[in-house]
Amino acid sequence: MLGEVASLCKEAIRFFRTHEKWKYQFLPAFEFNKSRGLEAYDKLFGPILAEPIENFLKESGCVPTWDGGWAKPDETICLAESLRASNDLIRIGILREDEIATIAGGTSDLKLVHPDVKERYAHPFKKVDRQDLLGNDRFLEDKSRQPNAPAWFRALYLWLAKNPVHYQSGRSHSVRGYHEFKFVLTSERSVLNGSEVWLPDVSPTDPAVKGLADTLQKSRNILHPDILAGAKDEEEAKILRGFLTSCVGVQVLDGRTVLKLSFGQEIGMKAVGYIRVSTEEQAREGISLENQRTKIQAYCSLNDLDLIEILEDAGRSGKDLNRDGIRRVIDLVRGREIDAVIVYKLDRLSRRVKDTLTILDAVDKKNIAFHSIMEKIDTKSAMGRFFLNIMASMSQWERDTIGERTRDALRLKILKNERAGQIPYGWKLAEDGKTLVENSLEQRAISLVVKLSAKGYSLRAICRELDKEGYKPIGKRWHPKTVSSILKKAA
């Protein structure tokens, strides 16, 4: 009877392939919950029903592709972008349909899954997205040497700007940046990180400053002029400029920056202040928001700094960076919209040395000054830079010391066969809640991983076999990194 059911399922699959609607949605209907270890499954339902159907799906072209064809599941790749972003990627000519799998996926024998296809939970498609495209250095370098390079890169920047990726940071929502990728086209037709590239913005009405700017440009990487010059209108140029400076980190070479780089002058520096208070006790200790605000205003007036804004986090702890005010400061720094950051006291940034150094590192990379009034820190001075180096050394010492203590404690627990953090795969807690004992089912999975690896199976192939055999994954699904970790521990 089960054999007949399996045959009927295969007939249903053949029918679904011809249906205009169900051909995109039928795959999840053939998902099986595998009960390995139960006699009924091991001897009956598994070999007679589940396995034949899964093999049929695996060996037949059951996945609709973007080009209107069909492909085997292992020969497909899915573009993990919104439908609008996916269509725009092709429509504006950044990539052709037949290029996406090769360029973003890294191999030429894959077919792009149709965006309407519903995948199976236990057998997800390999996915690629914009990060795979931006991380393909060879492809981007090839594009930079083509005659239409400025137009192509302009289209890429507009696509990223108009199809942003949002993420939540604490209570606020932020737009993903691309500071780590080398995809900014320079006037020399090289592709670099945004922080290495400058965007000239000097008024031609000041010939002296214009002459200095021209001299500086000869020793710096300049954004290809046709990127902005080729924009269809002022609005598009504004979008490009905003995206490149805020989300990519391209630095603006304006009159103020030219004077600062040429003479070390900080005339009319745009400064932003940051203030924070977390408890009523702090207010009584003399560091209320109002007191911090007054001190910063007086400091900027005394030092000829143009204080354009004071950002605050009222009633917020400094234990992390999930604060609206400090996130705004970081965004201004990354977009190089300011020349200096002013705080009343260093711990107003964060109570964690690691977070403080993260902020100061971003400030330093953008050539932005940092001032802390109480500690008398000015990073534009030799003493200020010396202080930051000491802080960095102390932070590294603290991390190393904590790491040594943690490793020693974990080694002792492992020697006693006790739980040391997360329970490792293949083990479970004994009744005493402390000692580890073997998990027989997971140990069988480990043995299978080792056996398949010895036979030459790839990490992804081992993942598929584990799914096929019904072993419960660590997390939502089996991943090559997980299999690699199991192999390393087994060795």
Residue 136 lies in a domain: no
User: Is 301 an active-site residue?
Assistant: no
pTM score, whole prediction = 0.54
| Domain shared by 363 and 440, yes or no | no
Residue 342 lies in a domain: yes
| Domain shared by 235 and 298, yes or no | no
Query: From its phi and psi, is residue 477 left (phi > 0), alpha (psi between -120 and 50) or beta?
Result: beta
Residue 285 lies in a domain: yes
Query: From its phi and psi, is residue 373 left (phi > 0), alpha (psi between -120 and 50) or beta?
Result: alpha
Q: What does 80-94 look like in DSSP terms, one character per residue?
A: -S-HHHHHHHHHTTS
Secondary structure letter of residue 177 according to DSSP: P
Last residue of a domain, one of 222, 237, 262: 262
Q: Residue 484 and residue 471: Cα distance in Å, rounded?
A: 16
Residue 164 lies in a domain: yes
* Residue 195, helix vs strand vs coil: helix
pLDDT of residue 26: 85
Residue 418 lies in a domain: no
**Choice among 60, 169, 174, 278 that is catalytic:** 278
Residue 294 lies in a domain: yes
- Residues spanned by the domain of 246: 150-262
Q: Residue 45 and residue 34: Cα distance in Å, rounded?
A: 9
| Domain shared by 306 and 382, yes or no | yes
CATH number of 362's domain: 3.40.50.1390
| Domain shared by 154 and 57, yes or no | no
Show the beta-strand stretches assigned E in 147-231. Answer: 166-169, 172-175, 184-185, 191-192, 197-201, 221-222
pLDDT of residue 191: 95
CB 435 within 8 A of CB 429: yes
Last residue of a domain, one of 192, 227, 262: 262
| Domain shared by 353 and 282, yes or no | yes
| Domain shared by 279 and 347, yes or no | yes
| Domain shared by 156 and 119, yes or no | no
| Domain shared by 194 and 157, yes or no | yes
- When divided into structural domains, the chain yields a total of 4
CB 188 within 8 A of CB 220: no
Half-sphere exposure of 396 (CA within 13 A, CB side): 6
CB 99 within 8 A of CB 66: no
pLDDT truncated to tens, each residue of the chain (491 aa)?
777 888 888 888 888 888 888 888 888 888 777 776 777 777 777 778 878 888 888 888 888 888 888 888 888 888 888 889 988 998 888 988 777 777 766 666 788 888 888 887 777 788 888 888 898 888 999 999 999 999 999 999 999 999 998 766 555 566 788 888 999 999 999 999 988 899 988 766 667 667 776 777 778 899 999 999 999 999 999 999 999 988 898 988 877 777 666 665 455 678 999 999 886 545 455 578 888 988 999 888 888 788 999 999 888 887 888 888 999 999 999 888 888 999 998 888 887 877 888 888 888 888 888 999 988 888 877 777 777 667 656 656 766 677 777 777 667 766 666 666 677 888 788 777 777 788 888 888 989 999 898 888 888 889 888 888 888 887 778 888 889 888 888 77
CB 85 within 8 A of CB 147: no
Residue 135 lies in a domain: no
Q: What does 250-300 look like in DSSP terms, one character per residue?
A: PEEEEHHHHHHHHH---TTEEEEEEEEE--HHHHHTT--HHHHHHHHHHHH
| Domain shared by 25 and 102, yes or no | yes
| Domain shared by 253 and 310, yes or no | no
CA proximity to 338, closest of 281, 259, 256, 265: 256
| Domain shared by 14 and 68, yes or no | yes
| Domain shared by 209 and 279, yes or no | no
* Tokens representing residue 285 in the block: 């200790």
pLDDT of residue 267: 53
